[in-house]
Structure formats: structure tokens, C-alpha cells
């Protein structure tokens, strides 16, 4: 990390040091290695450097991207990922990615014999639904091997109830719903409420999705994840643990979210006993923080647009609006959070002015500021 980046992220990093359970090597439940057709790439050394920023000795579950050489059966990307995991001294835990239309059972068995500790399915990238004999067979293999299946599901409204159906037929398989189950969060939280082993990973750019997750499902079923290279372990863990603090989790429960629950899932150990969700469905909010939160989401939306992918400067007008709201002369109980958000956005503007990789990294500061806006604990009497 350059000195400029280190200085820009130092306030988030310092707070993360206080939030992280002491002496713990955290485990990121969702990261990718390789090269995607969309231009994203991640090498194992870079991922390990990213993970170091989340805490000493941090580990990650790793799986392939949408690599161009994935045919046949994802064999080549899976072999690379499993080799990298093996060379990582235990820090990277390899999953195999399967295409249900391309020999998935043989590929799963081949990878499990090579040491894979989980299976990754991506219904949008591989364009499949969950009501097929191939999916049934994949769940059966996972059940026999005692490994979890991580699924990227819940974007839009395809027939996702078929995923709930197959999961309920295989309660022995731990199912991990990526990105807090995306837009399907409420639907999965209801249809899978009786399933003993559904986990939700926290890799989201919208912190509200993660806050709401703690109102819908047990904290013992929520696992920290970054989705690197799309997200970053530092801001990903900052998000998971700031929301955990908002939900009132104690140190032992924070250890579960930060890695202990996911470690149990990949080791085939029993998951911690689930308790009722910790947050209320209706929660107090600060008006100015809701407003900056909305502008910060607009900045991230601009960054993820086709133009914004190569031009992070598209976030600038929204960052200027955030800073204007943050300097409200009568900020009320959110004063401290607004000051932090303003200084974080000043740092983002500096990175954007720098250009190159620094400007791209400004996205992490916008995400970090959005996390602060969505998770500040407010004492209405302190105005
Ligand atoms: Zn992903």
C-alpha cells in the first residue's frame, strides 16, 4: 500500500483494530482468484496483502472468477485455485466452482480429492436454475463430503424458491448465500427459517443490507466476507464488525461473525447454536446520516456504472454533496459521525485527484463512509 493510501485509510484501519476480537485471525468467507472476463483479476500474493490489512494472519475462502479458460468443467481455474491454496500455508482455503451443465459431479469429486473444502455456484454467470437433477446431485455430493455450498443468488426475481426447495431437501449441507442474499434476503430469511445451516455472507456495498440482515437472521448465521477483488477485506471487515457492534454483539459473538462460524462450516464441525435476530425491524435513525448515506450509495452506483468502472471521478459530484450535508451547522446527535464522514470524503477527494490506483481505491473510502452513516450508535440525548 502506498503512503498516501495508508494515510487515507488509517482512521478506518485504527477503528477496525479496536473492533476486531483480540488475538484472532479472521476468515473472509468469499474471495476470488484468477482473471474474470469483466477485466477484474486477483493474484494470490495480492490477496494475501489485502488480507493483511484486515488483521494479522487473516485467512480466506477462495474460488475462481469467470475465467476465460473455464471450459471444460472449470477444471483449469479450479486447479489453479487449489494449487494456490496449497501453497498459502493454510491462509487460503480452496473451493471448487462448478458449471451444472458441464460434468459437475465428476469435477466436484476430482476437486474434493485434491483438497477442496467447499463448492461455489453462480446461477447468473452460468445461467442455470435450481430445479435440475444436476443441482440435486451437487447437493448430494456436498452432503456426502461434508462441505458447504456458496451460492450467488437473489439478484432480481428468477424462481429462487427452487433453491430453497433443494436446500430444505438437504439440511445436512451448509448453504452460504453470498452478498447477504442480495435482493432475495427477506424471501430466503422466511423460506429457509427452519433450515439448520444457512449462512449469509456480508459482502455488500450497501451497509443497510447487512444491518437489515441482523434484524432478519441469527447473528450465529452471519459470516464476514469481502468478495475481493470487487470488495476489500479491510472495508469488508469494518462493515461486518461495525454492524455487529450496532447489533450489540459481545466479543465471543463477534468472533463467530469474523471467522469462527465459517471455520466450523469448512471443517465440517457443528455450527454455533442460533439465537433470535438481534436488531429490531424498526430502528431509530438520524436524518442527516440518512441523507449522506443516500448520496454515498449514489456515488457507488456511479462508480459501478459502465463509465464509472474506468473513471472513478464519476463519484465526485456525489462526494461534494456528502461533504455539504456533513458540514450542517446544527448537526444534532450525529455530529461526530458527520465530522468523520467529512474527513473521510476529504481523503477520497485527495485520492481521486491523484489518479491511477489511488483514485480507484477512493471507492473503499466511500464504502467506509457509508458504513459509518448506516451504523453509528446514536444517543438522542447528546444533542
Ligand atoms: Zn463473488
pLDDT tens, 164-217?
A: 999 999 999 999 999 999 999 999 999 999 999 999 999 999 999 999 999 999
Range of the domain at 129: 3-267
- Give residue 78 CA to ligand 1 midpoint distance, Å: 15
Do 105 and 170 belong to one domain? yes
Residue 275 lies in a domain: no
Do 189 and 333 belong to one domain? no
Q: Is pLDDT above 80 for 119? A: yes
Do 139 and 213 belong to one domain? yes
To the nearest 10°, report the CA torsion of 86, 88, 90, 96: -50
- Give residue 30 CA to ligand 1 midpoint distance, Å: 6
Do 348 and 247 belong to one domain? no
Tell me, what DSSP letter sits at residue 31? E
- Give residue 151 CA to ligand 1 midpoint distance, Å: 9
- Kindly list the distances between the CA atom of residue 108 and the CA atoms of 47, 162, 247, in Å, as whole numbers in the listed order: 24, 21, 38
Predicted confidence at residue 379, as pLDDT, reads 72
- Mean pLDDT taken over the chain: 95
- Give residue 95 CA to ligand 1 midpoint distance, Å: 12
pTM attached to this predicted model: 0.97
- Give residue 34 CA to ligand 1 midpoint distance, Å: 12
Q: What is the CATH number of the domain that holds 48?
A: 3.20.20.140
* 84-118 pLDDT tens trace: 999 999 999 999 999 999 999 999 999 999 999 99
Do 19 and 111 belong to one domain? yes
Q: Where are the beta strands (DSSP E) in the chain?
A: 27-35, 41-42, 59-64, 92-94, 96-97, 119-121, 149-151, 175-177, 198-201, 222-223
CA atoms within 13 A on the CB side of 358: 16
- % of the chain with per-residue pLDDT over 90: 93
Domain count within the chain: 2
Do 258 and 292 belong to one domain? no
- Give residue 97 CA to ligand 1 midpoint distance, Å: 11
Do 187 and 299 belong to one domain? no
Predicted confidence at residue 382, as pLDDT, reads 43
- Give residue 249 CA to ligand 1 midpoint distance, Å: 26
Residue 118 lies in a domain: yes
Q: Is pLDDT above 60 for 301? A: yes
Q: Is pLDDT above 90 for 160? A: no
Do 216 and 244 belong to one domain? yes
* 123-142 pLDDT tens trace: 888 888 899 999 999 999 99
- Give residue 245 CA to ligand 1 midpoint distance, Å: 25
From the list 226, 286, 268, 217, the residue with the least C-alpha distance to 247 is 217
Amino acid at each position: 500500500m502506498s503512503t498516501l493510501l495508508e494515510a487515507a485509510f488509517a482512521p478506518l484501519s485504527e477503528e477496525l483494530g479496536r473492533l476486531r476480537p483480540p488475538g484472532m485471525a479472521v476468515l473472509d468467507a468469499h474471495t476470488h482468484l484468477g482473471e474474470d472476463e469483466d477485466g477484474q483479476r486477483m493474484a494470490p500474493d495480492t490477496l494475501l496483502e489485502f488480507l493483511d490489512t484486515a488483521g494479522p494472519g487473516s485467512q480466506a475462502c477462495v474460488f475462481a472468477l469467470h475465467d476465460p479458460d473455464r471450459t471444460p468443467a472449470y477444471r483449469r481455474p479450479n486447479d489453479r485455485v487449489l494449487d494456490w491454496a496449497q501453497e498459502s500455508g493454510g491462509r487460503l482455503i480452496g473451493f471448487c466452482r462448478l458449471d451444472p451443465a458441464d460434468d459437475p459431479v465428476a469435477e466436484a469429486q476430482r476437486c474434493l480429492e485434491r483438497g477442496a473444502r467447499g463448492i461455489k455456484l453462480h446461477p447468473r454467470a452460468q445461467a442455470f436454475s435450481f430445479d435440475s437433477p444436476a443441482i440435486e446431485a451437487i447437493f448430494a455430493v456436498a452432503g456426502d463430503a461434508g462441505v458447504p455450498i456458496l451460492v450467488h443468488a437473489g439478484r432480481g426475481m428468477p424462481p429462487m424458491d427452487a433453491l430453497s426447495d433443494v436446500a430444505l431437501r438437504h439440511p445436512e449441507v451448509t448453504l452460504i448465500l453470498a452478498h447477504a442474499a442480495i435482493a432475495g434476503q427477506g424471501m430466503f430469511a422466511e423460506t429457509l427459517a427452519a433450515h439448520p445451516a444457512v449462512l449469509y455472507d456480508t459482502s455488500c456495498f450497501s451497509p443497510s443490507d447487512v444491518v437489515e440482515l441482523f434484524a432478519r437472521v441469527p447473528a450465529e448465521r452471519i459470516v464476514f466476507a469481502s468478495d475481493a477483488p470487487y470488495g476489500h477485506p479491510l472495508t469488508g471487515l469494518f462493515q461486518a464488525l461495525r454492524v455487529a457492534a450496532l447489533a450489540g454483539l459481545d466479543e465471543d459473538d463477534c468472533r463467530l461473525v469474523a471467522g469462527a462460524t465459517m471455520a466450523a462450516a469448512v471443517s465440517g464441525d457443528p455450527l454455533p447454536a442460533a439465537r433470535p435476530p438481534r436488531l429490531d425491524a424498526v430502528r431509530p435513525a438520524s436524518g442527516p446520516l440518512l441523507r449522506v448515506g443516500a448520496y454515498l450509495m449514489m456515488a457507488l452506483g456511479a462508480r459501478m456504472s459502465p463509465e464509472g468502472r474506468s473513471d472513478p471521478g464519476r463519484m465526485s459530484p456525489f462526494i461534494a454533496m456528502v461533504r455539504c450535508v456533513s458540514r450542517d451547522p446544527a448537526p444534532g446527535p450525529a455530529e461526530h459521525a458527520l465530522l468523520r464522514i467529512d474527513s473521510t470524503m476529504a481523503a477520497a477527494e485527495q485520492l481521486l485527484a491523484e489518479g491511477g490506483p489511488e483514485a480507484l481505491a477512493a471507492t473503499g473510502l466511500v464504502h467506509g463512509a457509508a458504513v459509518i452513516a448506516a451504523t453509528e450508535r446514536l444517543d438522542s440525548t447528546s444533542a
